[in-house]
């Protein structure tokens, strides 16, 4: 068994695949981070992301997979599910070692698991698109915080860029401490410094004066359309799990 250390990015993962084939490795284990031991005869390798190697593997995947299949592999990687690196490596090796397209070969455990992960990611993405609530800041930027189970923020960019093309906005993942900023032209990934406030979601001091009014109006509307006699908590929680409530204006 050889343990390969990589930086966790998709590009680094493809460099790992190149090294597996280059060194003719069979049993491997992936681990994020660096290995600092200098002991001899340890089967551990630090994989440095190499652009040329990454591009060679990516070119090979494009020849063996459809654009949709390659996208699904990338989405499965974004999920960042612990101990699933072996699934991704197994999937890629199966792609290269098979003579035919394997995208619908659900009898293979790696193909089946990747499809399951992609379904979970897409379900979380749709929930985020429905549950994100923006708050207007003093600089006219609309700000929202999220804490998704999986790293779906990159998958949200297209939806919100199309829907709010005429507004500056930030969507910030407080669990992973990074966000996306749209400036009316382009989007970019950002990291914010919250040293002057207690947490990423606690930004009330930067609201516009009318933001509190809008929030109160929305909360009152939500209460007014609620029919107590038809209250069904189980159904409500099934459609809107409690872990999302802290970021919903109507639940504050």
Q: How would you write the pLDDT of the chain (252 residues) with one tens digit per residue?
A: 888 999 999 999 999 999 999 999 988 988 887 765 554 555 888 889 999 999 999 999 999 999 999 999 999 999 989 889 999 999 999 999 999 999 999 999 999 999 999 999 999 999 899 888 888 888 888 898 899 989 999 999 999 999 999 999 999 998 999 999 999 999 999 988 765 554 555 554 455 555 454 445 444 534 554 556 565 556 445 555 666 545 555 445
H/E element, 136: strand 135-136
Per-residue pLDDT at 135: 85
Percentage with pLDDT > 70 across the chain: 73
Residues 181-233 pLDDT 10s: 999 999 999 988 765 554 555 554 455 555 454 445 444 534 554 556 565 55
Radius of gyration of the chain (CA): 22
CB contact at 8 A, 145 and 200: yes
* Beta-bridge partner residues of 143: 135, 170
Q: Which residues are within 8 A (CB) of 11 and not within 5 positions of it... i.e. 6 or more apart?
A: 49, 51, 54
Indicate the SS3 state at residue 68: helix
Per-residue pLDDT at 250: 46
Q: DSSP secondary-structure letter at 49?
A: P
Residues 230-248 pLDDT 10s: 655 564 455 556 665 455 5
Per-residue pLDDT at 202: 53
CB contact at 8 A, 5 and 45: yes
For the chain, give every domain's residue range.
Answer: 2-121, 132-251
Strands 178-182 and 169-173: antiparallel
Q: Which of 128, 125, 127, 148 is nearest to 75 (CA)?
A: 125
Burial status of residue 148 (CB atoms within 10 A of its CB: 0-12, 13-18, 19 or more)? buried
Residue linked to tokens 């099934």 = 238
C-alpha 84/C-alpha 26 separation (Å) is 17
Per-residue pLDDT at 226: 58
Indicate the SS3 state at residue 8: coil
Backbone phi, psi, residue 183, to 5°: -110, 25
C-alpha 69/C-alpha 102 separation (Å) is 9
């Amino acid at each position: 068994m050889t343990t390969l250390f990589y930086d966790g990015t998709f590009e680094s993962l493809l460099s790992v695949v190149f090294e597996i084939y280059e060194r003719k490795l069979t049993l491997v284990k992936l681990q994020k981070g660096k290995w600092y031991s200098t002991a001899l005869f340890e089967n551990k390798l630090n994989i440095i992301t190499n652009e040329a190697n990454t591009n060679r593997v990516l070119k090979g995947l494009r020849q063996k997979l459809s654009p949709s299949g390659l996208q699904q592999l990338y989405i499965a990687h974004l999920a960042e599910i612990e101990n699933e690196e072996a699934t991704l490596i197994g999937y890629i090796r199966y792609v290269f070692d098979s003579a035919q397209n394997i995208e619908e070969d659900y009898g293979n455990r790696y193909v089946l698991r990747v499809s399951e992960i992609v379904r979970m990611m897409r379900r979380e993405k749709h929930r985020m698109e429905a549950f994100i609530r923006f708050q207007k800041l003093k600089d006219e930027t609309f700000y929202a915080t999220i804490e998704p189970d999986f790293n779906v923020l990159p998958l949200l960019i297209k939806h919100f860029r199309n829907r709010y093309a005429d507004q500056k906005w930030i969507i910030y993942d407080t669990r992973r401490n990074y966000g996306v900023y749209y400036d009316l032209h382009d989007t970019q990934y950002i990291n914010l410094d919250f040293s002057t406030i207690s947490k990423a979601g606690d930004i009330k001091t930067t609201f516009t004066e009318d933001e509190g009014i809008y929030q109160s109006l929305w909360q009152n509307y939500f209460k007014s359309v609620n029919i107590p006699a038809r209250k069904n908590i189980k159904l409500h929680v099934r459609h809107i799990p409690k872990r999302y409530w802290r970021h919903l204006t109507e639940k504050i």
